[in-house]
Amino acid sequence: MVTKGMRVGKYEFGRTLGEGNSAKVKLATDTVSGQSFAVKIIDKSRTSRLNVPFQIKREIRTLKVLKHPNIVRLHEVLASKTKIYMVLECVTGGDLFDRIVSKGKLSETNGRKMFQQLIDGISFCHNKGIFHRDLKLENVLLDANGHIKITDFGLSAVSQHFREDGLLHTTCGSPNYVAPEVLANKGYDGAASDIWSCGVILYVILTGCLPFDDTNIAVLCRKIFKGDPPIPRWLSPGAKTMIKRMLDPNPVTRITVTGIKANDWFRHDYSPSCCDDEDDSSSTEEDVSDEEKSHDSTTVINAFQLIGMSPFLDLSGLFETETVSERQIRFMSNRLATEVLEKIKIILMEMGFYVQKKHIMLKAIREDSTRKGQGGLSLTAEVFEITSSLNVIELRKSHGDSSLYKQLCDRLLNELDASSQI
């Protein structure tokens, strides 16, 4: 546990700025320079349980490359035996989600300025061969001057992740912001999918609501595939056109970054962000090895040493794996809905479950198999048909053994030829 007033190296910790599943962000002060930083503290035991070490290393490596005024800067990485500390630029204005919720939509003039900065930052990423893949309001921060800072590159991909077909294949991101081609699970262009997400962000900035939203995941997916959000009449023709071009469900005809920057509406009062890219911005994984050699293994060591030597951060076999929720997961399959449901039923029965079928839902119960009460599990499985060849499978655990639930999830993912969870 990291407490207020605690020191790691030259950094003294203050209040907590935010907290997620596998990390906590605290305000910290450099006791030498007096400068404030935001330190992302990643707990070793929690990352071991959540199976996210690859995302940690990917985010660190990506942020080492990205030095741009509209991207949160990584200053330093430290680690102890139990934690990793990512020392990040301190951004004090909160995130864009909280800004919209508390104050509502922005004027078109102010919204366009933020959008211009967003595109500048994403353009820089794409020019470096990096694709964010989880762009959303919560991952766009605001500094004290109202300038945006893109953050959270844990799901980012680089050009080396493309398969032989020249496309990415991991389904990831937040459902309301995910491009239709990502949901379709047939491969997608990272740049085009980021543009879609930026289009969703632009829509929210200018209207105060999401273009695609529904509590039912199947209905939400259908809306995304249709790609025809309601456009308020009071938006200017230029803004309407920009939103429609960015939220084009066809990634081939969707507007590109180059097209956006050439657009008259975008270019109105446009002042490109001054890039502060440095000589070491092209640092790659080879630089990690050099850094490991140049630091002694003391109480606080460099995180790349820890990644290299710790069993819990073994990266082998972890590429494109996804975490399993404790309670509910959703994943996709290209099989027919009836075939998917029957296969799930067979798997459940083979694992000792009593199964009841009702329409497109299965209810399954497995009694405790030991005196200690371990091995019991109660759950429901439901299949939502998006198209004739695309279905979303939702698995919900009512109560029972988490390890058995994870075992079932893993088996379903493998035997249904399903994509990563969404």
Q: What gap in Å lies between CA 238 and CA 22, rounded to an integer?
A: 41
Q: Is 61 left (phi over 0), alpha (psi -120 to 50) or beta?
A: alpha
Answer for the pair 88, 40: CB distance below 8 angstroms, yes or no: yes
For 152, the token pair is: 């959270």
Q: 169 with 212, same domain? A: yes
What is the domain count for the chain?
3
Q: 125 with 244, same domain? A: yes
Instruction: Report the binding-site residues.
Output: 40
Q: 126 with 153, same domain? A: yes
Residues 6 or more apart whose CB falls under 8 angstroms from that of 144 comprise 92, 93
Read off φ and ψ for residue 125, nearest 5 degrees: -60, -50
Instruction: Report the binding-site residues for ATP.
Output: 40
Q: 246 with 106, same domain? A: yes
Which CATH number does the domain housing residue 154 bear?
Answer: 1.10.510.10
Q: Which pLDDT value is given to residue 54?
A: 63
In a domain, residue 323? The reply is no
In a domain, residue 156? The reply is yes
Q: Which pLDDT value is given to residue 276?
A: 59
Q: 68 with 40, same domain? A: yes
Domain that residue 60 falls in: 7-90+285-313
pLDDT along the chain (422 residues), means of 10: 73 84 83 91 66 67 84 87 86 88 93 96 90 88 90 64 49 75 78 93 95 85 89 95 95 95 95 64 35 33 35 32 56 79 90 84 80 69 74 81 85 73 54
| Distance, CA of 263 to chain centre | 29
Q: Which pLDDT value is given to residue 384?
A: 77
pTM over 0.85: no
Q: Which pLDDT value is given to residue 70?
A: 92
Q: Could you list the active site residues?
A: 134
Q: 254 with 109, same domain? A: yes
In a domain, residue 276? The reply is no
Type of residue numbered 215:
T
Read off φ and ψ for residue 38, nearest 5 degrees: -105, 120
Q: Which pLDDT value is given to residue 149?
A: 93
Q: 389 with 247, same domain? A: no
Type of residue numbered 61:
R
In a domain, residue 31? The reply is yes
Q: 119 with 145, same domain? A: yes
Which CATH number does the domain housing residue 394 bear?
Answer: 3.30.310.80
Q: 130 with 208, same domain? A: yes
Type of residue numbered 270:
Y
Q: 340 with 398, same domain? A: yes
Q: Which pLDDT value is given to residue 285?
A: 35
Q: What gap in Å lies between CA 233 and CA 212, rounded to an integer?
A: 18
